Chain A
Amino acid sequence: MKNDETPITRQKFMEELRRYQKGSVTRRHFLGVTGLGTAMAVLGGAMPMLHPGRALAGDIGDRVILATWPNYHDPENFEIFREQTGAAVQVNVFGSNEEMLAKLQAGGSGWDVFVPTNYTITTYVEADLIEPLDLSKLPNYDASAFEARFADAGTVGGKLYAVPKNWGTTGMSWDSSKAKAPFTSWKEFFDVTMGDFSGRTIVHDYQLTTIGNALKYFGYSFNSIDPKELADAEKLLIEVKPHLFAITSDYQPPMRNGDAWLTMCWTGEGKQMNRDMPEIQFALGKEGGEIWSDYYAVPKNAPHREAAYALINFLIDPQVNAREALAHGFPVADARVNALLPEELLNDPILHPAADLLDALEFGAAATLTDPNRAELMARFKSA
């Protein structure tokens, strides 16, 4: 946990990490070379919950269930967690905060850990659906390491309910080999969809971003719940609908195989696609849009509570979190993790946009989650 004690240099660590990411070295090699293996053994002694021993593994049970977003983790990390603790991680994927809330509201979700976005946490607390975190079980959490604007939302009424996972923006990704000019605005996003890109565009199955970006087309606030502004957004969405390829939050497969050319896109996923296929580019709308921060939280009555804490603690360990960030590309608000990440990732224009673009962005507002008109608008749009 103390990075300065890592027995290899940061640069060497990163090189090994990248080789490991590319799959050119095995995990065993990676752990051996970087000293992470020893570190784990030592940590295991210090922290019983990380001990790979069988008797102790029984303490957290043999499984833990995580509800999260698409393409948001390094699967290798879960295997390391399983080797260390004996608990296998089941990943359930959701494409919107509404879906997660609906599942928790109906009771008995069975989740141990889930990943809500900043603006939803107060609603979960009011509905008594999540528990205040027991910090004694999260030794890897260091509040001072986090940038406040990406960590604030985790605290409600003075109690810590959620710890930050990643932050990012919501922009657009497109196949530049098909586009006449780079996209720079939500106006272009919708206009080109109704023109050259007809039948090739994806919007999220998620009211916040799909409605929010349609609102931006008119220059309204991303979070507007004003009925007149929403009516404009609805008109635009209904007009665009026949020209869409799909309404889905799982947009990577069709983008990668060429069925779709343009999509609303979360930063890290834009980075993932751009890394593998440089012709897929990413940009923010110059009118603005969303900036967000995701958190780890534990639902009330989580069936494997101990394992839930062990998993969160494992995932916010700076070394582990650095591997996560390298795999999924989303920026991290934890200074300890950023100290481990390569410069080029920290200066990446997709992940860390210029200040003037960032300034135009808005955090989602709690009202959008509960506003009946936005929910109904989205449902009407989908069934239109």
Chain B
Amino acid sequence: MAISQRAARALLLGPAGLWYAGLLVLPLVVVLVYSFGERGAAGGYAPAFTFAQYANLGARWTAFQNTLLLAPAGTLAALLIAYPLAYFLAVRVRERWRTLLLVLVIVPFWTSILIRSYAWIFLLGGRGIPHLLAELGMGDIRLINTPFAVLVGIVYGYLPLMVFPIYVSLEKLDKRLLEAAGDLGAPPWRSFLQITLPLSLPGVATGSMLVFILLMGEYLIPQMLGGGKVFFVGNALVDLFLQSRNWAFGSAMSVTLVAVMLVTVTLYMRFLKRIGAARDDVGLM
């Protein structure tokens, strides 16, 4: 019985295990090996053992800096915009309207992010919002191809991912708690700070982590709204593989990006556990 159960498990896990071995472990090992190699003569990869690629990482410091600045900033901005909306949907809206309003948050998600970002190129370009602002006498304001434009694109692209987890945790909140607090004479801001906010922290944690992880590898939005000037690590990576064809250096950068993410995300989870926002299944795990 014990043996057959073990065999059954192996059978069940087999396909997934092979998938992980062939498409996660093997590629990561290849990237790790390549990161110690050299650029081929006409580009690509040439075998070697050198730390030169890692030593050269400083040449992409700005890309790391932009990413490590704008990813948290974008996450925070999305959080600040999403929270009141999620709160409104979970607490203030009548049941009848709730589903419809929730669905309306995701619908934009179904148009390709490429097309939506393209719309922002127009909106932030000289004939869009800056033109309107100039008409209103706000002078010459340039938005497109700035970090601000990238931030707008980021918040726009990932807002639904932030709204949903927060909504879910707020919806579970027992409204009688708030009533009780009110009955006991607590002003609304106090019951918000002491009851609502702490109870919604798991949702905040999940949403933030989701958005943060996606932003760390972002390529498209800075590419489209940054005009090739606001470079993320993702843009530097694409450049290394699709323009300058330096697979070795690109591999070293990939390894570094993954390492940075492992460290930040793990620290973040620790922090959440400490402040008690984490249930056992916080985030994706």
Contacts and interface: CB of A to CB of B under 8 A. Distances in A.
* Whether chain A touches chain B in the assembled complex (some CB pair under 8 Å): yes
B231 A103 contact: no
A150 B22 CA distance: 48
A376 B57 CA distance: 12
A244 B41 CA distance: 32
13 contacts: A101-B245, A102-B43, A103-B242, A207-B244, A257-B125, A257-B126, A257-B127, A375-B243, A376-B59, A379-B246, A380-B60, A383-B63, A383-B235
B230 to A, nearest CB: 10
Interface stretch (A131-139, A245-253, A321-329): A245-253
Given A375-B245, A379-B239, A379-B243, A259 B231 contact: no
A259 B241 CA distance: 30
A247 B227 contact: yes
A380 B227 contact: no
B229 interface: yes
Interface in A313-362: none
Contacts of B60: 380, 383
B229 A101 contact: no
A51 interface: no
B127 A258 contact: yes
Contacts of B144: 259
Contact of B228 (A103, A105, A247, A380): A247
Interface residues of A, number: 35
B236 interface: yes
B264 interface: no
A19 to B, nearest CB: 31
Contacts of B236: 379, 382-383
B13 to A, nearest CB: 32
Contacts of B249: 376
Sort A-B residue pairs by CB-CB distance and give the 3 closest, nearest first.
A246-B227, A247-B228, A375-B244
Q: Considering residues B231, B240, B242, which has the most beta carbons from chain A within 10 angstroms of its beta carbon?
A: B242
A128 to B, nearest CB: 11
Interface string B244-270: 111001000000000000000000000
Contact of B42 (A245, A370, A380): A370
Nearest to A258: B126
Given A257-B125, A258-B127, A98 B227 contact: no
Contacts of B246: 372, 375-376, 379
A380 B56 CA distance: 11
B145 interface: yes
A205 B59 contact: no
Contacts of B63: 383
A165 interface: no
A123 B235 CA distance: 26
A246 B229 contact: yes
Interface string A232-261: 000000000100111110000010011100
A4 B39 CA distance: 55
A376 B243 CA distance: 10
A168 interface: no
A148 interface: no
Q: Considering residues B240, B243, B245, which has the most beta carbons from chain A within 10 angstroms of its beta carbon?
A: B243
B243 A99 contact: yes
Q: Considering residues B60, B62, B228, B239, which has the most beta carbons from chain A within 10 angstroms of its beta carbon?
A: B228
A202 to B, nearest CB: 8
A379 B126 CA distance: 28
A49 B14 CA distance: 52
Contact of A379 (B41, B142, B229, B244): B244
B121 to A, nearest CB: 8
A99 B243 CA distance: 5
A382 B42 contact: no
B44 interface: yes
Given A106-B241, A378-B243, A384-B62, 19 more contacts: A98-B243, A98-B244, A101-B43, A102-B241, A126-B42, A246-B227, A247-B227, A254-B126, A259-B144, A375-B43, A375-B245, A376-B249, A378-B244, A379-B246, A382-B235, A382-B236, A383-B62, A383-B63, A383-B236
Contact of A102 (B127, B145, B231, B242): B242
Contacts of A105: 42-44, 245
A197 to B, nearest CB: 13
Contact of A205 (B39, B142, B228): B228
A277 interface: no
B244 A246 contact: no
Nearest to A241: B229
B253 to A, nearest CB: 10
Contacts of A143: none
Q: Considering residues B62, B145, B249, which has the most beta carbons from chain A within 10 angstroms of its beta carbon?
A: B145
B37 to A, nearest CB: 13
A261 to B, nearest CB: 11
A259 B62 contact: no
Interface in B104-150: 125-127, 142, 144-145
A199 interface: yes
Contacts of B145: 245-246
B223 to A, nearest CB: 10
B7 to A, nearest CB: 39
A126 B43 CA distance: 13
Contacts of A375: 43, 243-246
A379 B142 CA distance: 26
Interface string A159-201: 0000000000000000000000000000000000000000100
Contacts of A383: 59-60, 62-63, 231, 235-236, 239
Contacts of A248: 227-228
B242 A99 contact: yes
Interface string B34-47: 00000101111000
B54 to A, nearest CB: 15
B236 to A, nearest CB: 5
A372 B243 contact: no
A207 B235 CA distance: 16
